[in-house]
Amino acid sequence: MTATTTKAGTADDREPESALATPEIEEWRGVSAEENDDISTRGTVLLRRRSRALLADLLRPYKRWIWVLVVAVVIENAARLSVPWMVRRGIDLGVPPLLEGGSGRLLYETVALMAGAVLIQGLSRTFFLRNSGTVGQKVLLELRRRVFKHFQDLDVRFHDRYTTGRVVSRLTSDIDAIMELLANGFDSLVTAVLTMVGVGVLLLVLDFELGAVCLLCFPVLMLLVRWFSRASSRTYRKVRETSALTIVQFIETMTGIKAVQAYRRERRNSGIFEDVAGRYREANIDSFKLVAVFMPSIKLVGNLTIGVVLLYGGHRVIEGDMTVGVLAAFLLYLRMFFEPMQDISQFYNTFQSASSALEKLSGVLEEQPSVVQSSDPTPLPHAAGAVHLEHVRFEYAKDRPVLPDLELDIPAGQTVALVGTTGAGKTTIAKLMARFYDPDGGRVTLDGTDLRDLADDDLRRAVVMVTQENFMFDGTIADNIAFGK
C-alpha cells in the first residue's frame, strides 16, 4: 500500500443539526422551512403553491369520482334545503283546510314529500361517505408510498441531518392531518358554501324585504371568517411544528435509551421533553383561544339576527303582510344559515393543520438525493479491488472539513487498517468508498473508474461495508442474513 500523509481533520464524523438549514438555501426550498416561523410573504405563497400542486397531483386520478361526489353533496343539500319550504307549504296551505273542516290531503302530501326529501338526503349522504372514504384512502396510500420511497431514495447525507423522529412524524401525524381534511374537511366546506348560498337565495325568494334584512349580517360574518383564517394560519403551523418536535424528542430518546441510561441523561432529557411538550401545549392553547373568540361571535351575530327577524317578522304577521308559514320557514333557514359557520371554523382548523402537513411533505418530496447514479454508467462486471482516493476533500458542515486533502492508494488484494483518533475521518473514508457520500473535492476510484460513473448494482456488488453497530430487522436470523440478496 502506498499512501501520502493524510490531512484528516479532527472534526467529529457526524453532521451537526445546525447544518439542516444553511444560509444559501432559500427559506422555503425543500425542508428548510420546517423550523422557520419568520417566512416572508413570498415564501409563504410559494409554500402554499407547492402544497396545492402536491394535493392536486394526488387527486388528479380521481377527478371523475370527485365530480360525482360533488353532485351527491349538491343533491343532499338540495333535499335538506327543501324541508323548510315544505314546512311553509304545510302551515300556510295544508293546515287551514283542516281548521275549516276540509280535506287534509295537501298536508299529507306535504308530509310525504318531506319524508321523500329526508330519504334522498340520507341516501346521498350514505353514497358520499362510502365513496369519499374509498377515494381518500387511495389518495393517502399513494402519498404514503411516495413519501416512503422518497425517504429511501434520499442519500445518507440527508438522513444524517434529518432525524428519525422527523421521518416518523411525516409518515404519522402529518398523514393523519391530511386524512382528516380528506375525510371531513372538503365535505364541510362544500356543504357550508352550498347551504349559505342556497339559504340566501331562498330567503330573498320567500320575502325579499325580510331576506335583505337577514343578509345584512353577511358582511360581519365574512369579516369574522377572514380574521379567523389569517390568525389561525400561523397558529396551526406552530401546532404542527411543535407536535413534530415532541414526537422527535420522544422517538430519539427511546431509540437511544441505552446511551441515555449509560450517561445518566434521564433528567436532562426529561427537561428537554417537558420544554417541547410545553411549547406544544401553548400552541394548542393559542388555537383554542382563537376558536373561543370566533365561535361565540358567530353565535352572537346569529342570535341577534334571529331576534331581529322574529321581532320584525312578527309585526308583519300581525299586520297581515306575512304568513306564519313564511316566518317559520325563515327561522328554520336562518338556523341552517348559521350552522355552516361553525363547520367553516372546523374546516379552517382541519385545513390549517393539513396545510402545514402538506408543506412539510411537499418539502421532503422536493429534496433531491446528492448521490445519484450516472445516466450513462461505466460497466464493471468484475472488480479487481484497486481503490484510489485522489485529493479527496469532504466536509459535513460548511467550512469544517473532515478530510481537507486526502491522497490514498490501496492496490488490489491489500488488507489495510486505518488507525486514528475519534473524529479523524476513518468512518468517513469507508463511507466514501461505499459511496454513501460523494466527495466535495477530488474523486474516489475503483479500478481506475470514478465511483460516480459506476452503476449502483456494480458498486454494491464490488464494495461492501460492515458497520460498527449492526441493526437487526424484525424477522428471523435467516431473513437478516439474506437481507442484501
pLDDT in tens, 286-295: 888 888 888 8
The strand pair at 2-3 and 441-446 is best described as unpaired
The answer to whether residues 168 and 61 belong to one domain is yes
What is the tens place of the pLDDT at every residue in 5-61?
A: 333 443 334 333 333 343 433 545 667 666 665 566 676 777 788 888 899 999 999
Query: What local confidence, expressed as pLDDT, does residue 112 receive?
Result: 94
Sequence-distant contacts of 26-35: CB under 8 A, at least 24 apart: 29/363, 29/366, 30/363, 30/364, 30/366, 30/367, 31/162, 31/360, 31/363, 31/364, 31/367, 32/363, 33/359, 33/363, 34/166, 34/241, 34/244, 34/360, 34/363, 35/241
Q: Could you say which of 329, 350, 366 is where a domain stops?
A: 366
Whole-number Å distance between alpha carbons of 309 and 331: 8
Instruction: Tell me what percent of the chain is helix, strand and coil, each rounded to the nearest 5.
Output: 70, 5, 25
**26 found inside a domain:** no
Query: What local confidence, expressed as pLDDT, does residue 174 receive?
Result: 87
Write the CATH number for 399: 3.40.50.300
**437 found inside a domain:** yes
The answer to whether residues 330 and 263 belong to one domain is yes
Q: Is the pLDDT of residue 2 over 60?
A: no
| Residue reference for cell 467529529 | 12
Query: What local confidence, expressed as pLDDT, does residue 469 receive?
Result: 64
**130 found inside a domain:** yes
Domains held by the chain: number: 2
The answer to whether residues 318 and 433 belong to one domain is no
Whole-number Å distance between alpha carbons of 269 and 28: 31
Q: Is the pLDDT of residue 212 over 70?
A: yes
320 SS3 class? coil
The answer to whether residues 221 and 137 belong to one domain is yes
What is the average pLDDT across 252-272?
Answer: 85
Sign, CA torsion 214/217/221/222 = positive
Query: What local confidence, expressed as pLDDT, does residue 421 receive?
Result: 83
- The phi-psi region of residue 4 (left if phi > 0; otherwise alpha if psi is between -120 and 50; otherwise beta) is beta
The answer to whether residues 7 and 51 belong to one domain is no
Q: Could you give the count of Cα atoms lying within 13 Å of 129 in the half-sphere of its Cβ?
A: 7
Joined together, the cell numbers standing for residue 42 give 413570498
What is the average pLDDT across 80-90?
Answer: 91
| 125 confidence band (pLDDT: 50, 70, 90) | very high
The answer to whether residues 318 and 383 belong to one domain is no
Whole-number Å distance between alpha carbons of 233 and 230: 5
**321 found inside a domain:** yes
Rg, the chain, Cα only:
32
Query: What local confidence, expressed as pLDDT, does residue 474 receive?
Result: 65
Domain enclosing residue 292, as ranges: 41-366
Helices 186-206 and 324-366 pack at an angle, to 10 degrees, of: 150
What is the average pLDDT across 117-126?
Answer: 94
Q: Is the pLDDT of residue 251 over 90?
A: no
The answer to whether residues 417 and 350 belong to one domain is no
What is the tens place of the pLDDT at every residue in 382-428?
A: 888 899 999 999 988 888 888 888 899 999 888 888 888 877 888 88
**273 found inside a domain:** yes
The answer to whether residues 166 and 66 belong to one domain is yes
Q: Could you say which of 366, 394, 422 is where a domain stops?
A: 366
**352 found inside a domain:** yes
Joined together, the cell numbers standing for residue 405 give 486533502
> Which amino acid, residue 153?
D
The answer to whether residues 349 and 465 belong to one domain is no
The answer to whether residues 181 and 273 belong to one domain is yes
The answer to whether residues 423 and 334 belong to one domain is no
First to last CA, the chain: 32
> Which amino acid, residue 363?
G
Q: Is the pLDDT of residue 122 over 90?
A: yes
Mean pLDDT estimate for the chain: 82
| Residue reference for cell 377527478 | 63
Percent of the chain with pLDDT over 70: 87
Whole-number Å distance between alpha carbons of 58 and 187: 18
Strand order in the sheet with 387-397: 2-3, 400-410, 387-397, 441-446, 449-450
What is the average pLDDT across 73-85?
Answer: 92
| 169 confidence band (pLDDT: 50, 70, 90) | confident
DSSP state of 91: I
Whole-number Å distance between alpha carbons of 82 and 117: 7
Q: Could you say which of 320, 342, 366 is where a domain stops?
A: 366
What is the tens place of the pLDDT at every residue in 315-346?
A: 888 988 888 998 999 889 888 888 777 777 67
**28 found inside a domain:** no
> Which amino acid, residue 271?
G
What is the average pLDDT across 103-132?
Answer: 91
The answer to whether residues 120 and 237 belong to one domain is yes
Query: What local confidence, expressed as pLDDT, does residue 254 receive?
Result: 85
Write the CATH number for 117: 1.20.1560.10
Query: What local confidence, expressed as pLDDT, does residue 368 receive?
Result: 87
**36 found inside a domain:** no
